[in-house]
Structure 1
Amino acid sequence: MHENPGKQVTPRVAVIIPAKDEAERIGMTVRAVKALPFVNLELIVVVDDGSADDTREIARQAGAVTVRHTVTRGKASSMETGAKVVAMRAIRGKTPPLLLFLDADLGESAAEAAPLIEPVLKGEADCTIAVLPKPAGAGGHGFVLGLSKWAIRRTTGWNPQAPLSGQRCLTSAAFQAAVPLAAGWGVETDMTISLITAGFAVKEVPVNFTHRVSRRDFKSQMHRLHQFIDVLKAVLKLRARRVHIKRRKFLEAALNQKPGMVYRVAHREQIPESEKTL
């Protein structure tokens, strides 16, 4: 993708970083993002979701555009706020930028995000999802991950490796197809199902990100409980709306899938509206 190393490539990517009480790492994350190819340095947006520390000021000093929620509204709301800021600041008449969503605690490893960008720039996929290395010392039991995988597989046929990963790059059109986003920790599961059932192509990409991992203490276990509840709520809402694809429609794609392949059930225009929400 780097035809002229050393020269500035055309900036086509906006970066949105939801953040809450991330003063310790947000500066490193923003500075790392600025080194990525294709990133528009004027469209690095940090959404401070009601932090009690200096997250916003540190992000601003690092070079990000910052916006603050006066009260905590959750990750989904922060993602939507960031996308609105990008839309307002993007150049009218130009192709809308790609949206790269990254967690605030990635630190220096945010500079590893280039593999997420390239498949979307090339038109190979509408949305890429990062598969992170398995962290040492993680304390989860897999209940939340298992629920998310089951829901995505049941409704779309896709069997993802990292359905809860928040590190994603997608086209503006794909993002608009996914809004309104599900609240809380159900946002990734809901987004994935919404995109695939709308006919968008998704792809998982291994990326060498590192960030904090939850342990086995009481606070971490409560965090996982809230995650499970939020994912379950998102799944139940999708089920109430009967959002899924008929099994006969996704069977061939499901049988042929392999890790790292683009997954698409059908082109968007080939999926009748009645079959997206049966």
Structure 2
Amino acid sequence: MLVLKNLNIQRGPLTIVEDGQLSLLAGKTYTILGPNGAGKSTLLKTIFGEVAFSGMMSYKGQVYSNKHPLRWRKPIGYMPQDTMVEASLTALEVVLLGRIDALHMHVSDELLAEAAGVLTLLGIGHLAHHDVMRLSGGQRQLVMFAQVLLRQPEILMLDEPVSALDMHHQLNLLSRVCQYTHEQNLITVMILHDLSLAAQFSDEIILLGNGKIQAQGKPADVLKADIISELYRVDIEILYDSRGLPVIRPMRKN
């Protein structure tokens, strides 16, 4: 279990989180939602140990200490929002960098096969030997996600992992995220902008805004018209799909 207690995050004059409480369980996918500027990425970076905070974070009984950030980050696979690769490497080479601690002058056949297998899992095995600089933004995003998976993380943190993907690849990647989370018993925390996608692919929603964690719970319990309208400052209506999951539709003002 990943536990955050009495969490306070301040960026200059802006309060990102005040007295935040979160408990995140293995085998579940959590999505952080909130308007632009609410501090979603900052919260993710705080959990990764990149942003100063007060309060307490613990995982499996280990309490975070800024004296040992690398030890804290070891079980975390973190994919930031900016995944630009500026070196002329193949997609396979970029994925292998996810296990840079295991790389030597000679890369083992086992590690090569593992990296190729992750690419195949994501449906981009045919891109293994393509220059990553020549791939589309969406393809690069999938390659970076493959790199994170190769690290075999216990905690998976993804900042807008589908922002550059079309609908087909959004559904493919998020389906893989959920499947991998459940099969490997991970804690997965991601940031999405599409509330309806979040409802489909999240076990729980964490709603962030106005300097507080406004709610944490199942999508149908958290995605309510009144709180969404207030946080996002739009009129919405909530429909429900065939599985009873909420579909959020913003309403045009006359």
Normalization by structure 1: what TM-score?
A: 0.26
Identify the structure with the greater helix proportion: 1
The higher-RCO structure (CA 8 Å, 6+ apart) is: 2
